Structure 1
Amino acid sequence: MANFILIFTCFLLGIFFRRYKFFPANTPQVLNRFVIYISLPALTLSQIHRLDLAGNILIPVSMSWILYALGVGFFYTLGKYMQIPKKSLGTLMLTGSLGNTSFVGFPLLEALFGVGAISVGILVDQPGTFLVAGTLGVATAAYFSGANVSAKQILRKVFSFPPFLALLFAFVLRLIPFHDSAYGVLDRLGSTLVPLSLLSVGMQLHFHPEKIKANFKYLCWGLGFKLFLAPLFFVALYVGIFHQRGEVVLITLVESAMAPMITAGILATEYDLDVELSNLMLGIGIPLSLITVPVWSWVLDSVRFI
């Protein structure tokens, strides 16, 4: 319960600070930079060093790639049927197919399963969601904007991202035993991720009733897919078809139900897609997921799927 109180407190404080301008306008960018350069790399080094690789790591790594392919196919078909404008369609593919598996995902995983679940979340996020966003996501955004992006530019983005470099470094360091003091320092730095990331998210959210009304149909399809249809698909795939069980599967399923990825919104903005729709997918999807994700976790546990 304390972890959920922390999540909602930090989230609401972020909204409060933005509304009353307690901090400079660029505060979310500063907080994001701290999380990306310090909190998340420290957490990655600590958790990957403790990770038991005897389990099935293919499931958490593969989920984001399958989700993106599923989302692109779903929204492409929907776009043909509903005649969705090109830029809006590209925005739905990005925000509806990429999950917020770190900034919102890690705090929720810690609240639902404990800090140890973050090691599985890192496998979902770094070789999964982040790599998808940095490669297929960039290519999708460029295609729907009409821009040209080279493979060299994509690789530069991927291999200059500190948490991804920390992930590669963490696997190498598994060969070296860590002293307790090293874990202590990394854990303290990593513990800043939850409050800072949720403060940042709260400070970036905007709600405009008129814009919501104008985009209501697209929002229903985008968030309906991301928060409900996608996790339902993975329950059918991993549990129903492949008969997988265990905590790793449960954590992966919960990660599949996360809100749209903030980076997906950034890509939509950078490539001049439907920025208004992108902001609404994030602004409504993130707070909504703070309710729907725990519900998914409770349902999966209650019906004994895992």
Structure 2
Amino acid sequence: MENLTLVALCVLIGLLLQRVHVFKAAHEVLNAWVIWVALPAVILHYLPLLAFDQRLLGLILIPWVTLALIAGLVLWLGRQLGWSRNTIGALLMLAPLGNTSFLGIPMLQALLGDQSIPYALVYDQAGSFLAVVLYLPFVAAFYAGDGVFSWGKVLRKMITFPPMIAALVTFATWSLDRPVWLEANLIRLADTLVPVAMVAVGLQLKLSLPQGLGQPFAVGMLLKMGLMPLLALWLIQLLDMRGLPAQTALLEAAMPTMITAGVVAASHNLQPRLAAAMVGWGVLVSFVTLPLWSLVAQQL
């Protein structure tokens, strides 16, 4: 409860700073710190603690299978309910992709403890991050009307993304002993992830409801916050996953809409009000739903 209180407090601080306009573009600076410093430090410190075995396969499969199922359902519902092309494109970004790093890792620390972080990193890097660089550009190119999709750009994004570089460095130096001073400093930098990321989330929250888009908003929220973790739970049982890997996969699948997905949707003019609402309300609702899903996870 103490860790969850810290997460909520930092989000509240971010919301207050957003209202008083003390810092201009503060969220961009904090986002950069998380991506360039805190997340790489988390990866460099926690990933070597991971024991590689068949249990990790589920952490890689679940984000991709749930993405495919939710995306297919969005396409079907879009046709059945007569949604516009822009709305379908937006929900293809917003409904299947969760906030598995900025919000996910702090929430997992609060609900499952530090020992869940290595598993969260596998889910995030092999699932959510690759979806950002492979899936999001494809949807944007197809639904935003420009038709531009470059494998060269995708590859550059993958190999220049700081957390991915940190993961590659970790694997390259796996068998080497690290000096005590390096580990101590990595831990201190990694500890900045929760407060900095959560204040950044608070600074970016928009809690207005999208007028005229109530139905897509409600459906998108139900798909992301309700159906996706249920699908993950089904896959966990199908794959016979147990313990921390299963618990981590379930909670990661239950995370609200990814902020990056909302930003990409808005930047391509794919229902920006719907994107802002799903990101903002998703974070708020997750403070109720994630503790409830953690009760389910404890039975795994």
With the length of structure 2 as denominator, give the TM-score of the two structures: 0.96
- By how many angstroms is 1:180 displaced? 2.7
What is the correspondence of 1:109-120 to structure 2 with a 5 Å cutoff? 109-120=108-119
Matched, 1:220 2:212: no
- By how many angstroms is 1:66 displaced? 1.3
Is the partner of 1:265 in helix, strand or coil? helix
- By how many angstroms is 1:55 displaced? 5.3
What is the correspondence of 1:51-130 to structure 2 with a 5 Å cutoff? 51-54=50-53, 56-130=55-129
What residue number does 1:277 align with? Answer: 274
Is the partner of 1:109 in helix, strand or coil? helix
Mean Cα deviation higher: 221-230 or 268-277? 268-277
Matched, 1:171 2:168: no
What residue number does 2:158 align with? Answer: 158
Does the aligned pair in 1 maintain the 2:93–2:262 contact within 8 Å? yes
What residue number does 1:250 align with? Answer: 247
Report the Cα distance in structure 1 between the residues aligned to 2:5 and 2:158, rounded to whole angstroms.
34
Does the aligned pair in 2 maintain the 1:28–1:203 contact within 8 Å? yes
**Given residue 276 of structure 1, which amino acid in structure 2 is its aligned partner?**
R
Does the aligned pair in 2 maintain the 1:126–1:164 contact within 8 Å? yes
- By how many angstroms is 1:299 displaced? 2.6
What residue number does 1:15 align with? Answer: 15
**Given residue 97 of structure 2, which amino acid in structure 1 is its aligned partner?**
L
- By how many angstroms is 1:271 displaced? 2.0
Matched, 1:144 2:143: yes
**Once the two structures are superposed, what CA deviation does each residue of 1:31-77 show, in whole Å capped at 9, x if it has no partner?**
00011000000110101112111351111122221122112101000
Report the Cα distance in structure 2 between the residues aligned to 1:227 and 1:15, rounded to whole angstroms.
22
Alpha carbon RMSD of aligned pairs, Å? 1.2
1:232 corresponds, among 230, 233, 243, to 230
Report the Cα distance in structure 1 between the residues aligned to 2:219 and 2:182, rounded to whole angstroms.
46
Is the partner of 2:155 in helix, strand or coil? helix
Does the aligned pair in 2 maintain the 1:67–1:98 contact within 8 Å? no
Counting matched residue pairs gives 299
Is the partner of 2:95 in helix, strand or coil? helix
Report the Cα distance in structure 1 between the residues aligned to 2:52 and 2:235, rounded to whole angstroms.
22
- By how many angstroms is 1:295 displaced? 0.6
Report the Cα distance in structure 2 between the residues aligned to 1:181 and 1:114, rounded to whole angstroms.
24
- By how many angstroms is 1:112 displaced? 0.8
Change (3 A) 1:78 1:145: same
**Given residue 128 of structure 2, which amino acid in structure 1 is its aligned partner?**
T
1:264 corresponds, among 236, 240, 261, to 261
Report the Cα distance in structure 2 between the residues aligned to 1:191 and 1:35, rounded to whole angstroms.
11
Report the Cα distance in structure 1 between the residues aligned to 2:262 and 2:48, rounded to whole angstroms.
32
**Once the two structures are superposed, what CA deviation does each residue of 1:182-201 show, in whole Å capped at 9, x if it has no partner?**
22111100111110111011
- By how many angstroms is 1:135 displaced? 0.5
What residue number does 2:197 align with? Answer: 197
**Given residue 254 of structure 1, which amino acid in structure 2 is its aligned partner?**
L
Is the partner of 1:128 in helix, strand or coil? helix
Is the partner of 1:84 in helix, strand or coil? coil
What residue number does 1:298 align with? Answer: 295
**Once the two structures are superposed, what CA deviation does each residue of 1:228-253 show, in whole Å capped at 9, x if it has no partner?**
101111111221x2332221111111
With the length of structure 1 as denominator, give the TM-score of the two structures: 0.94
Report the Cα distance in structure 1 between the residues aligned to 2:63 and 2:264, rounded to whole angstroms.
17
Report the Cα distance in structure 2 between the residues aligned to 1:131 and 1:237, rounded to whole angstroms.
20
Is the partner of 2:102 in helix, strand or coil? coil
**Given residue 258 of structure 2, which amino acid in structure 1 is its aligned partner?**
M
Does the aligned pair in 1 maintain the 2:62–2:235 contact within 8 Å? no
Report the Cα distance in structure 2 between the residues aligned to 1:154 and 1:70, rounded to whole angstroms.
23
Gaps of 5+ in 1: none
Report the Cα distance in structure 1 between the residues aligned to 2:267 and 2:167, rounded to whole angstroms.
26
Identical residues among aligned pairs (%): 33
Does the aligned pair in 2 maintain the 1:142–1:271 contact within 8 Å? no
